[in-house]
A and B are shown apart, each in its own frame.
Chain A
Amino acid sequence: MSADPTATEALLTRLTPAPAFDDPPTLVPIPDPAPPRPPGAERGAGTDAPGPGAGTAAASPGSEPAAPARTAAAPRHRPAGPGHPAPALGAESISQPGRVPAGLGAAPAGAPRRRGPADPVRAVMHRHQAMVAGAVDAWEIAAGLEAYGVNDGEARRLRHRDVFGLAEELFARVPRAVRVAAVGERGARRVRLGGRATALHLLPGAGCVLAAGLPVAAAPVAVVVAVALWAALRGGPLRIAHGAGAALWTYGLLGFALYGPQAVTALGGRGRFDTGAGTAGFAALALSLAPAAVLAGWFAAAARAQLAPSHGLADFADAVRPRLAAALAGYAAVLVALLLLAAAMAGSAPLAGPAALGVLLFTARLLAVHGHPASAAAGLAAACAAEALTLVLAAAPGHLAPSGGTAEAAVCGAAAAVLAAQAFRLLARAAAHRRH
């Protein structure tokens, strides 16, 4: 700052106290100080006091309201009289009324004095503008100043007891940097499975379609489907760290979806065990894995994007719940469409049972992905137990069980409703969307 003579003069002008002395000196008007200054330099504290020795009052944060009066009180004139040498004009930053500082620092008498701002702290303010403006408290400024090599000796030269005192003055005088409002992460919203992941997620569905077309190869294809399912869920948006034993219940539920209704019919003595009856619905269910992954990824990204703009946990919950509803509804819609398609292709296929099961599995997976595997496993286990009970009831004398499809739809629907309620409660919490 001191390198630029016009800037220095302008600063001197600003720092000049209103002429409170007995003889008004000749006032030389200075043209408009052109060089722009950083915003921090405009709001110095040394100018708002009419006499020397009032600098400390200005150094406190309480002087902020005086800012408009300050600009009015400091005229753009420079006293040029011989009774007012430049250094004496400086507003002091210490509380020693009446004492005229003997120049800045310990400049030797003969050396050409470097003309700088009369307020020595101002130079420090300017030099460390970015660091001070971005700091959150005086401690941080003190640490930063020391890292830049400002030590206690330097602070004493600036008339502070130590670096901490200087840091407090800087914290009070330099306005805080404007905080940039957080915006949601736009890029994160676009969720796209990679080519390999898409293939992995489509593989179980493709296997099921193959099995539905070739009943002869059912057994090896079933193994392939099971392995493909495991491989698909090891990566991608549906991956979980630990499942709390949900895998067992999941396979149980899937098995019931494939053979359950026919088994109930056979056990109840109402018909013959038909192995191929549930294949079409099951294929639709397996094909819905890829959209489920996409929707789960979208939900995770959308919820995470709400973290930064939300100013409270309640705000965040309000923003997440509609997104969760959209994800669940979207999955249900896709699944129903696939099931209808399967029914059209195969002639007839159950609709309600596989749809309820799909929503149940999707909800449980969402819960597990976002850190609540125990709740998810409990829901799946309860559904599995209820279906097992249906089989037992069907086999028991009296054949009290309802038809397999109805039982599946009711059990899975109820479990899905319970888990969805849980999801609306648990996934609306911010802790569920922590970045891993």
Chain B
Amino acid sequence: MRIGLLTEGGYPYARGEGGAWCDRLVRGLAHHDFDVYALSRSPRTDSAGEVETPPQVRRVRHERLWGEPAPEAPRAGRSAAKAQRAAFRTAFRDLAAALAGGAAVGQAERADRFATGLYALADLAVDAPGALPALLRGDDALAELEAACRAPGVRPVLGDIVVTELLITADLLERQLRPLSAPWYGPEELGAADVCHAVSGGTATLPGLLGKRFCGAPLIVTEYTVRAREALLAHRAAGLPPAVRVLLGDHYRLLAGESYRQAALITPGSTHVRRWQERCGAPRERMRTIHPGIDAGRFAGAGAAAEAAAQADEQAAHSDPTVAWVGRADPAKDLIALLHAFHAIRGEEPQARLRIFHLRAADERSSGYLDHCRTLAAQLFPDEAADAHAVGENPVSFEEIGSPGAPEPADAYAAGDVVVLSSGAEGFPLSLVEAMFCGRPTVSTDVGAVREVIGGTGLVVPPRNPKALADAALDLLRGPERAARLGAAARERALALFTVATCVDAFRDSYLDVVAHHPVRRLPLLDAQGAPRPFTTPAESLSPSRLAPTPSHPSWTRIPATRP
């Protein structure tokens, strides 16, 4: 089967979220062919280079969503250009009216007009290649946007839109709609795909929508973070003017709604994502939650050691019960609450230690927060020594992953008797899943997808409640049997639900299911006698087309190579 993989900012770029997951998916389905259509979101994405793609990736196509558009193609002629402009104005009028909304435009009609305008623009981009970017940045687009914002019943924030905001909106819309002009919709490109898989929402679904419209390829939309939501936050953080935020936010939502309506299958990564998708109009009957697969191989050793230790009943004999935190330092992780909780734990267990394992600080904000936490830890806990002749040491240690204390993340998790997740806000808690793989008992705050991930195999406390966090951690530190039971259960749960194999299997089934229900009708539709040709490409013909090298044992049982 040939899969058109539509990405935005992630795979195959080395720097980009979701890239690693996508790589595992592609490598896991070695007997399918992949065509990658990649949209790069910023010069940063481009500059970091690309990962090496496995041989099943047949081709990689790129399009930039930043910078100036490609230089305009030579105009056909005066009358042709005039016709293009007229067609563009009609199409963009619909789009702008849908974005602006208004008293006269209902919710269903908005979605309808958005789709009409979008597809009309796509038709225009096919008819006149290269003309669309200039038209979207031109004066016609500004005039139509202004007219839409001045329509009766439009929200007041749009009513007094100024020219700067019109310009910014037109520019950003042009970037978002750039996939319309991409030369990807011929019979050799997306026309050859049996299924399009958009691995994020938002702009990445645009090629999928057009692939469905022009080539009939069914669309699968996978979202691990809601693009419409991320865009809202990003626009706010970027300080865009209010009117621009309204129009672009509506663009993202309407695009998401259209992609959910057209998708044959929607696979949210967690319940939180699912809720946003339903809110944006995703139909429930076509949704299937597929958790992201996480490479369990790196944690197999730690998990096995935890199991062996539980069986040997070593847990009871501990002189310094250790609480561990692993992750990327960020204000959303609420390390402050963790330090306060540990203060309470120390009151009960004077020997307790807290080890904070953080990844290398990527930016200014992260390192600043880390320094702040260090200061607070130094204020809360003075250095302590065993006797008058020993060198003192702080009970709270900050260690970078990769340092001698924890060369690998698995060592960091294994260092804690209890692993704590103290976040104030969280998406899908990867560090929690990794702790589960290592068989550690966990205490986490009830944020994001934590409850969904942990099930009943760990303790969950309310966010920003250090006392509850301390009590729960103390419970586990003082009850090693219970902690061991919880850790073992967590490991079983993670191995059953969150491995790469589970995720890849789910997608393999989904592909076959979608292809069976939505076969691409290829030309010729009639045979030599003029009779229709149904069942010429049954789903079976698309199942594994070549023998793939099958690993002799699952990847998570592999023992990691020991370092010299």
Give, as a whole number of angstroms, the nearest-CB distance from B485 to chain A: 26
Give, as a whole number of angstroms, the nearest-CB distance from A215 to chain B: 44
Across the two chains, which residue of chain A brings its CB closest to B334? A149
- A143-B229 contact, Cβ under 8 Å, with A136-B249, A307-B163, A311-B160: yes
Q: Which residues of A, 126-161, contact B by the 8 Å Cβ criterion?
A: 134-137, 139-140, 143-144, 146-149, 151-153
Verify B446–A162 contact, CB threshold 8 A. no
Please name all residues of chain B whose beta carbon is closer than 8 Å to the beta carbon of A139 when the two chains form the complex: 228, 232, 249, 253
Please name all residues of chain B whose beta carbon is closer than 8 Å to the beta carbon of A433 when the two chains form the complex: 167
A430 within 8 A of B: yes
Give, as a whole number of angstroms, the nearest-CB distance from A191 to chain B: 20
Please name all residues of chain B whose beta carbon is closer than 8 Å to the beta carbon of A308 when the two chains form the complex: 162-164
A389 within 8 A of B: no
Verify A148–B143 contact, CB threshold 8 A. no
- A430-B142 contact, Cβ under 8 Å, with A182-B162, A312-B163: yes
Give, as a whole number of angstroms, the nearest-CB distance from A162 to chain B: 7
Please name all residues of chain A whose beta carbon is closer than 8 Å to the beta carbon of B279 when the two chains form the complex: 164
- Mask of B142-169 contacts with A, CB within 8 angstroms, 1/0: 1100100010000101001111101100
- A430-B166 contact, Cβ under 8 Å, with A149-B463, A311-B160, A313-B146: yes
A256 within 8 A of B: no
A242 within 8 A of B: yes
A179 within 8 A of B: yes
Give, as a whole number of angstroms, the nearest-CB distance from B347 to chain A: 20
B447 within 8 A of A: yes
Give, as a whole number of angstroms, the nearest-CB distance from B245 to chain A: 5
Please name all residues of chain A whose beta carbon is closer than 8 Å to the beta carbon of B425 when the two chains form the complex: 146-149
Pick from B171, B236, B423: contact of A140, CB under 8 Å: B236
Please name all residues of chain B whose beta carbon is closer than 8 Å to the beta carbon of A135 when the two chains form the complex: 236
Please name all residues of chain B whose beta carbon is closer than 8 Å to the beta carbon of A436 when the two chains form the complex: 68
Question: In whole angstroms, what is the CA distance A140 to B332 when docked?
Answer: 18
Please name all residues of chain B whose beta carbon is closer than 8 Å to the beta carbon of A242 when the two chains form the complex: 71
Verify A429–B233 contact, CB threshold 8 A. no
Chain A binding surface, main DSSP class: loop
B493 within 8 A of A: no
Please name all residues of chain A whose beta carbon is closer than 8 Å to the beta carbon of B143 when the two chains form the complex: 313
Count, chain B residues at interface, CB 8 A: 43
Across the two chains, which residue of chain A brings its CB closest to B242? A136
Please name all residues of chain A whose beta carbon is closer than 8 Å to the beta carbon of B167 when the two chains form the complex: 307, 430-431, 433-435
Verify B162–A431 contact, CB threshold 8 A. no
Question: In whole angstroms, what is the CA distance A207 to B42 when docked?
Answer: 45
A309 within 8 A of B: yes
- A136-B229 contact, Cβ under 8 Å, with A147-B425, A431-B137: no
A282 within 8 A of B: no
Give, as a whole number of angstroms, the nearest-CB distance from A239 to chain B: 15
Please name all residues of chain A whose beta carbon is closer than 8 Å to the beta carbon of B249 when the two chains form the complex: 136-137, 139-140
Q: Which residues of A, 253-284, contact B by the 8 Å Cβ criterion?
A: none
Pick from B166, B233, B246, B275: contact of A143, CB under 8 Å: B233
A310 within 8 A of B: yes
Give, as a whole number of angstroms, the nearest-CB distance from A135 to chain B: 8
Question: In whole angstroms, what is the CA distance A278 to B262 when docked?
Answer: 71
Give, as a whole number of angstroms, the nearest-CB distance from B388 to chain A: 43
Q: Which residues of B, 252-291, contact A by the 8 Å Cβ criterion?
A: 253, 275, 279
Please name all residues of chain A whose beta carbon is closer than 8 Å to the beta carbon of B424 when the two chains form the complex: 148-149
Verify B163–A434 contact, CB threshold 8 A. no
Question: In whole angstroms, what is the CA distance A147 to B237 when docked?
Answer: 12
Give, as a whole number of angstroms, the nearest-CB distance from B465 to chain A: 11
Most buried by B among A162, A242, A311: A311
B139 within 8 A of A: yes
Please name all residues of chain A whose beta carbon is closer than 8 Å to the beta carbon of B246 when the two chains form the complex: 136-137
Across the two chains, which residue of chain B brings its CB closest to A182? B162
Verify B242–A179 contact, CB threshold 8 A. yes
Most buried by A among B170, B171, B425: B425
Across the two chains, which residue of chain A brings its CB closest to B243? A136
Chain B binding surface, main DSSP class: helix
Most buried by B among A143, A164, A435: A143
B464 within 8 A of A: yes
Verify B463–A430 contact, CB threshold 8 A. no
Please name all residues of chain A whose beta carbon is closer than 8 Å to the beta carbon of B137 when the two chains form the complex: 431, 434
Verify B157–A429 contact, CB threshold 8 A. no
Verify B160–A430 contact, CB threshold 8 A. no
Question: In whole angstroms, what is the CA distance A308 to B161 when docked?
Answer: 10
Verify A434–B232 contact, CB threshold 8 A. no
A298 within 8 A of B: no
B138 within 8 A of A: yes
- A429-B139 contact, Cβ under 8 Å, with A162-B275, A307-B164, A308-B162: yes
Give, as a whole number of angstroms, the nearest-CB distance from B466 to chain A: 14
Pick from B138, B166, B447: contact of A313, CB under 8 Å: B166
A316 within 8 A of B: yes
Please name all residues of chain A whose beta carbon is closer than 8 Å to the beta carbon of B157 when the two chains form the complex: 136, 176
Question: In whole angstroms, what is the CA distance A182 to B142 when docked?
Answer: 19
Verify B160–A147 contact, CB threshold 8 A. no
Question: In whole angstroms, what is the CA distance A309 to B160 when docked?
Answer: 11
Verify A136–B446 contact, CB threshold 8 A. no
Give, as a whole number of angstroms, the nearest-CB distance from A146 to chain B: 7
Please name all residues of chain B whose beta carbon is closer than 8 Å to the beta carbon of A136 when the two chains form the complex: 157, 242-243, 245-246, 249
Please name all residues of chain B whose beta carbon is closer than 8 Å to the beta carbon of A137 when the two chains form the complex: 155, 246, 249
Verify A144–B163 contact, CB threshold 8 A. no
Verify B464–A149 contact, CB threshold 8 A. yes
Question: In whole angstroms, what is the CA distance A436 to B171 when docked?
Answer: 11
- A144-B233 contact, Cβ under 8 Å, with A136-B242, A162-B275: yes
Give, as a whole number of angstroms, the nearest-CB distance from B293 to chain A: 25
Question: In whole angstroms, what is the CA distance A311 to B164 when docked?
Answer: 9
Binding site for A on B (CB under 8 A): 68, 71, 137-139, 142-143, 146, 150, 155, 157, 160-164, 166-167, 170-171, 228-229, 232-233, 236, 242-243, 245-246, 249, 253, 275, 279, 332, 423-425, 446-448, 462-464
Binding site for B on A (CB under 8 A): 134-137, 139-140, 143-144, 146-149, 151-153, 162, 164, 176, 179, 182, 242, 306-313, 315-316, 429-431, 433-436
New A-B pairs, 14, CB < 8 Å, besides A143-B233, A431-B167 = A136-B243, A136-B246, A136-B249, A140-B236, A144-B233, A146-B425, A149-B425, A151-B448, A309-B162, A310-B162, A311-B160, A311-B162, A312-B150, A430-B166
* 28 A-B interface contacts by CB (under 8 A): A134-B236, A135-B236, A136-B243, A136-B249, A139-B249, A140-B232, A140-B245, A143-B233, A148-B425, A149-B463, A151-B447, A151-B448, A182-B164, A242-B71, A307-B162, A308-B164, A310-B163, A311-B161, A313-B142, A316-B163, A429-B139, A430-B163, A431-B139, A431-B167, A431-B170, A434-B167, A435-B167, A436-B68
